[in-house]
Amino acid sequence: MDWPQVPIESIPPEAFVPQSCPRRQCPTHAGPDAPAFGYIRVGSYRRKCDGRRVPRFRCRVCQRGFSLQTFAVSYYLKRPELLIPIANAIVACSAHRQTARSLGCAASTVSRQAARIGRHAITFLTRMLAALPGLDEAVVYDHFESFASSQYFPLGLGTAYLHDSRLLLSVDLAPHRRTGKMSPRQKARRDQLEKSYGKPSPRAYEQALSETLDRLMPKVPKNKNLRLVTDDHAQYATAVARHPHSERIEHRRYANPPRGPKGSPRSEEALARDRAMATADHAHQFLRHSLSHQRRETIAFARRHNSLAEQLITHGVWLNYVKARRENRPREGTRAMHAGLTDEPWSWERIFARRLQPFEVDLPPTWQRVYCRRLPFPSHLEVKPHALKNAF
């Protein structure tokens, strides 16, 4: 994967050379017949937060100004030194208030920087999928169940992993109705909320898998089929059957057999299912362990579906590039190394080496809504979208 080794902030001001205009509206981004990018230097300024000298530039084509900081993940930040500690805290099961107490900042600061890290992780994961040479391994797909605000707003997060390298490929959202055992009072409350704020789509799982297949099929060699492994959820089979490339998808389904008392031997069906779905099962267990709001008993619940998606994708980037594939065998390398994307483990410093503009990568529609914080559900929460004037 083509990615800088040195963070942009570490490059000497006189040595930094911008490669393109950061403005989406600049004519240099209009296509193959677009004019060539050129720039002129127009001085510099000192950042108050760290005292660095930041060079300024002007695009010769659109005549708009920008600086070195425009290409850095720490753009606009008053406390850029908190970015990496907050990223480490997110994957270390620290809630936002606990992180704020440890770092000596406000909890709102942690929340805002966590959202920024999530947006960068979304564009980074998209860039990673584009750099993947091909899908020769089987893909294990399953939904990770969570909720936001309350259990009346559940969310399934469809995760796709490579079977052997365990690389996380994609995350898609499936907001659905609250299910399971409910008292008459709880059912009435659910109906009241759905009447006021809308009812989720009954085909949410099917739509999530369809979006994942749309993303993965272009990576499958033309002379091969996509080997997809799932459990026996009915909407998975429907999504595969209705997909335009269904004839190129080898779908293997494994039923979830009834389990006996804890400690009792598993049946042959249960053993076959656990062997086939082990990659997703182990990853989901680790998610419960590593993210504070995903534990079974906690008060650190997420308040928005958008935040759930951002933190899970952030965790996925860390899982792919930073964490060893097996903690008791660190010399085996990371999941990205096994998938042929890198040749050494990365750090958060390298992941944050440069900022990825959303128009630089082909963000899927769902991820565009997550990036801009425009997920429509739960709709009773007034969420301010990410729509800063110079943020795109």
Residues 6+ positions from 316 with CB-CB distance below 8 Å: 121, 125, 159, 168, 171
Beta strands 226-231 and 139-147 are: parallel
pLDDT band at 300 (very low <50, low <70, confident <90, very high): low
User: Angle, to 10 degrees, between the axis of helix 278-290 and the axis of helix 268-276?
Assistant: 70
For the cut 90, the answer to whether the pLDDT of residue 163 exceeds it is yes
CB-CB neighbours of 274 under 10 Å: 14
By three-state DSSP, how is residue 226 classified?
A: strand
By three-state DSSP, how is residue 227 classified?
A: strand
Q: Tell me, what's the pLDDT at 118?
A: 94
Tell me which residue of 23, 69, 15, 65 sits closest to 355, measured CA to CA.
Answer: 69
Using alpha carbons only, give the angle 208, 211, 214 rounded to the nearest 5 degrees. 150
Mean pLDDT of the region 4-30: 91
Q: Tell me, what's the pLDDT at 95?
A: 85
For the cut 80, the answer to whether the pLDDT of residue 47 exceeds it is yes
How many whole angstroms separate alpha carbon 147 and alpha carbon 129? 27
Tens of pLDDT, residues 149-161: 788 888 899 999 9
Which residue did the predictor score with more confidence, 199 or 188?
Answer: 188
Tens of pLDDT, residues 84-122: 999 999 998 888 888 999 999 999 999 999 999 999 999
Q: Mind giving me the DSSP string for 324-379?
A: BSSTT-GGG-BHHHHTTS-SS---HHHHTSSPPPGGGTT--HHHHHHHTT---SST
Which residue did the predictor score with more confidence, 37 or 258?
Answer: 37
How many whole angstroms separate alpha carbon 84 and alpha carbon 103? 11
Mean pLDDT of the region 370-390: 72
Which residue did the predictor score with more confidence, 381 or 179?
Answer: 179
Tell me which residue of 253, 301, 254 sits closest to 273, measured CA to CA.
Answer: 254
pLDDT band at 62 (very low <50, low <70, confident <90, very high): very high
Please provide the average confidence, as pLDDT, over all residues in the chain.
89
How many whole angstroms separate alpha carbon 379 and alpha carbon 149? 11
pLDDT band at 383 (very low <50, low <70, confident <90, very high): low
Backbone phi and psi for residue 174, each to the nearest 5 degrees, phi listed first: -135, 80
Backbone phi and psi for residue 310, each to the nearest 5 degrees, phi listed first: -60, -45
For the cut 80, the answer to whether the pLDDT of residue 384 exceeds it is no
Count Cβ atoms within 10 A of the Cβ of residue 367 and give its class: 0-12 exposed, 13-18 middle, 19 or more buried.
buried
pLDDT band at 37 (very low <50, low <70, confident <90, very high): very high
Tell me which residue of 145, 201, 150, 140 sits closest to 366, measured CA to CA.
Answer: 201
Q: Tell me, what's the pLDDT at 1?
A: 78
For the cut 70, the answer to whether the pLDDT of residue 295 exceeds it is no
Mean pLDDT of the region 295-323: 83
Give percent of the chain with pLDDT exceeding 90: 59
How many whole angstroms separate alpha carbon 22 and alpha carbon 357? 8
Q: Tell me, what's the pLDDT at 291?
A: 77
Q: Tell me, what's the pLDDT at 258?
A: 83
Lowest mean pLDDT among 196-200, 206-210, 233-237, 376-380: 376-380
pLDDT band at 299 (very low <50, low <70, confident <90, very high): low
Left if phi > 0, otherwise alpha if psi is -120 to 50, otherwise beta: which for 340? left
Mean pLDDT of the region 332-356: 93
For the cut 70, the answer to whether the pLDDT of residue 238 exceeds it is yes
Tens of pLDDT, residues 271-281: 899 899 999 99
Q: Which long-range contacts (CB under 8 A, 24 or more apart) does 76-80 make?
A: 76/388, 77/49, 77/113, 77/116, 78/48, 78/49, 79/49, 79/105, 79/109, 80/9, 80/49, 80/50
From start to end of the chain, where are the E strands? 39-46, 53-59, 65-67, 139-147, 154-162, 168-175, 226-231, 249-254
The continuous run of DSSP H or E covering 193 comes out as helix 184-197
Mean pLDDT of the region 198-212: 92
For the cut 60, the answer to whether the pLDDT of residue 380 exceeds it is no
Q: Tell me, what's the pLDDT at 262?
A: 79
Strands of the 249-254 sheet, one edge to the other: 168-175, 154-162, 139-147, 226-231, 249-254
Cα of 9 vs its chain's centroid, Å: 24
For the cut 90, the answer to whether the pLDDT of residue 257 exceeds it is no
Contact yes or no for 257/267 (Cβ under 8 A):
yes
Using alpha carbons only, give the angle 102, 108, 110 rounded to the nearest 5 degrees. 45
Token couple for 270? 């249960």
For the cut 80, the answer to whether the pLDDT of residue 364 exceeds it is yes
